[in-house]
Amino acid sequence: MFPLIVKRLAVGLLTVLAVSIIIFFGTKVLPGDAAQIRLGQAATAENIAAMRERLGLDQPMIVQYWTWLKNFVSGDLGVSLAADVPITDLISDRYKYTLIVSGLTALIGVPISLMLGILGAMFPGSIYDRVLTFISVSLVAAPEFFTATLLVLLFVFWLGMGNAVVVGSIEGKGFFELIKHFALPITTLCFVIASQLIRMSRAAVLNVMSSPYVEMAILKGVPRKRIIFRHALLNALGPIVNVVALNLAYLVTGVIVVEVYFGYPGLATLIVQGVQTRDFVLIQGLGMLFCLTYVILMLIADIAAFASNPRLRHPK
């Protein structure tokens, strides 16, 4: 099992490297010059040339890439072209927001969805299962802003609870106060990830439920609950963990619509700002951060899947 993990780690590193090349050179071929953006339209040619030299833009591409990668590894993401502050400063505040919202969503959404999905697999074809399937399929089809709008309509306008946007500071708030603070975005995101998690956990468990060893457990008189949780779930863990990891990665990187809708500052809106202001340095830094998040989460999922397989854990 250990060599397998090392292999995955190597593949993960290669992925990050490949993505870094794509991000760096991808932003380079975009129209626009970093020095020009930094100095504004009024800058003279001499000023721009001086700035190009300061930013190292006069160096060959490969050298620029190497310097950039080296700095990234040492934790220096460069200085924002638009705001003239270090990228790390720009990100750190936003990261807090994103981590809180996605962390709370995962904490609430993942266990509930998995339970619902497994319950569906326990009673396939029942009324419960059919209603669950109907709702989860509808949720897959519904875009986030639609779900968010429905929630706002329901809670804010009809029930008169709270605000339609996230307002106020998060400083000094405890766990439950934070949940209350972000109640609407968290609920929206829970709905978004729930659909996929429910469908996948249901399918994974159902798949195992048709195997001969589950039939054997039935014929041994093992109660249904134990069949699911002791016999089936262990063998369905691999695919489930992978879907969970994918959804967690989405929570960190892809929640732009929800952030904009509820008006709280997270990482996803930051990258949109970066694109709007042509802040290449910011885009590069965030791009790499997102890539790292994906790779690390997938790596954890793979290790968990390996660990749940006795053939890999205890080779002959």
Partner 1 sequence: MSDKSNQNDDIVFEAIDLSINALRDDKSELPIVKGVNFKVRRGEVVALIGESGSGKTTISLSALGYCKPGLIFAGGQAKLLGHDVTKMSVNELRPLRGEKVAYLAQSAAATFNPSILINEQVTEAAVLHGSKTQQQADEKALALYKALELPDPENIGSRYPHQVSGGQLQRLMAAMALCGDPDLLVLDEPTTALDVTTQIEVLKAFKHVIKVEEAAAIYVTHDLAVVAQIADHIVVLYNGEVKEAGPTETIINSPQHPYTKRLMDAIKPLPEPGQGEQSSDKHLRTSPALEVKQVDAGYGKVRNGKAAVQVLRDINVAIERGKTVGVIGESGCGKSTLARVMAGLLPPAQGDILLDGEPLPPSVRERTTDQLRKVQFVYQMADTALNPRQRIKDIIGRPVQFYDLASGKDVRKRVDELLELVELPVQFADRYPHELSGGQKQRVSLARALAANPEVVLCDEVTSALDTIVGANVIELLKRLRRELGVSFIFISHDLSTVASFADEIVVLYAGRVAEQGPTDRVLSPPYHPYTRLLISSVPETRVGWLEESSESREAQSAVQGDVKLTEKGCPFHTRCPMAIEGTCAELDPPRRVGALGHIIECHLEFDGLS
CB of 266 to partner 1, least distance (A): 39
Q: Which two tokens stand for residue 124?
A: 């396939």
Which tokens in the block code for residue 166?
């996230």
List own/partner pairs for 299-303 with CB under 8 A and 24 or more apart: 299/8, 299/9, 299/12, 300/245, 301/241, 301/242, 301/244, 301/245, 301/246, 302/5, 302/8, 302/242, 303/5, 303/8
Instruction: Give the gyration radius of the chain's Cα atoms.
Output: 24
121 vs 252 by CB, closer to partner 1: 121
Q: What's the count of helices (H) and strands (E) in the chain, helices before strands?
A: 16, 0
Complex with partner 1: residue 70 or 313, whichever CB lies closer: 313
SS3 228: helix
Q: Which is nearer to partner 1, 136 or 235 (CB)?
A: 235
Give the nearest distance from C-beta 21 to partner 1 in angstroms: 31
Nearer to partner 1, 75 or 212 (CB): 212
Toward partner 1, which CB reaches closer, 29 or 219? Answer: 219
Cβ proximity to partner 1, 235 vs 253, nearer residue: 235
Question: CB of 220: closest distance to partner 1 in angstroms?
Answer: 4
Q: How many residues does the chain have?
A: 316
Residue 235 CB, shortest distance to partner 1, in Å, is 5
Measured from the CB of residue 190, what is the shortest distance to partner 1 in angstroms? 30
CB within 8 Å of 181: residues ≥ 6 apart? 166, 168, 170, 173
User: Under the phi-then-psi rule, with left for phi > 0, alpha for psi from -120 to 50, and beta for the rest, what region is 286?
Assistant: alpha
Measured from the CB of residue 240, what is the shortest distance to partner 1 in angstroms?
14
Name the residues that contact partner 1, by CB under 8 A.
Answer: 211-213, 215-223, 226, 230-231, 234-235, 308-311, 314, 316
Closest distance to partner 1 from the beta carbon of 311 (Å): 5
Structure tokens at 57: 């833009």
Q: How far is the CB of 234 from partner 1 (least distance, A)?
A: 4
By beta-carbon proximity to partner 1, the closer residue of 100 and 232 is: 232
Cβ proximity to partner 1, 40 vs 315, nearer residue: 315
Point out which residues pair with 79 in neighbouring strands: 86
The three-state secondary structure class of 304 is helix
